[in-house]
Amino acid sequence: MDDSSLTSLSSWKMPLDRCYWALSVVVATEGIVKITMGKLVSLAEQELVDCDVHGEDQGCEGGLMDNAFKFIIKNDGLTIESSYPYTAADGMCKSASNSAATIKGYEDVPANDEAALMKAVAN
C-alpha cells in the first residue's frame, strides 16, 4: 500500500494519546476495506473508545485488538469518523446503526513474521 491507502492520523495527539489500541484496530480495518473494496474509508476510533468497554477494553484506559475486532464483527462494523469524531477522551456510547465498513474475521500474526502477515492479508 502507498500513502493513498492510509487515512489521516492528524486527529491523534501523539505521544500523549492513551487510546492507541483503538487506532491500531481502525487502521488495520481501514486497510482491509481498501484492499477488498478498493475504497478508503475513515472509520471512527471514538466509537471503539466509547462503546467497546466490556471485558478488558476500557476506553482510554486501554484495550486489546482481538476484543476490538470482535466488537466490530458483532456490531456489524463501525461508522465513519466524520459522524463520530475522535475526542481523545472517554465518552458516552453513541453507536450508530449505519456502519460504513465491517470485517468478517481477523487473524493474529506472530511478531516479525512477514510471510505470516502476507498470508493473513491474502485471506
On whether the CB atoms of residues 71 and 30 are closer than 8 A, the answer is no
Rounded (5°) CA angle 113-3-106: 40
Q: Which domain range does residue 63 map to?
A: 3-122
Task: List, for residues 31-49, the tens digit of each pLDDT value.
Answer: 889 988 898 999 999 999 9
Q: What domain count does the chain have?
A: 1
Give the domain CATH number at 26: 3.90.70.10
H or E element, residue 27: helix 20-37
Task: List, for residues 111-123, the tens digit of each pLDDT value.
Answer: 998 998 888 877 7
On whether the CB atoms of residues 48 and 28 are closer than 8 A, the answer is no
On whether the CB atoms of residues 71 and 44 are closer than 8 A, the answer is no
| Whole-structure pTM value | 0.80
On whether the CB atoms of residues 79 and 44 are closer than 8 A, the answer is yes
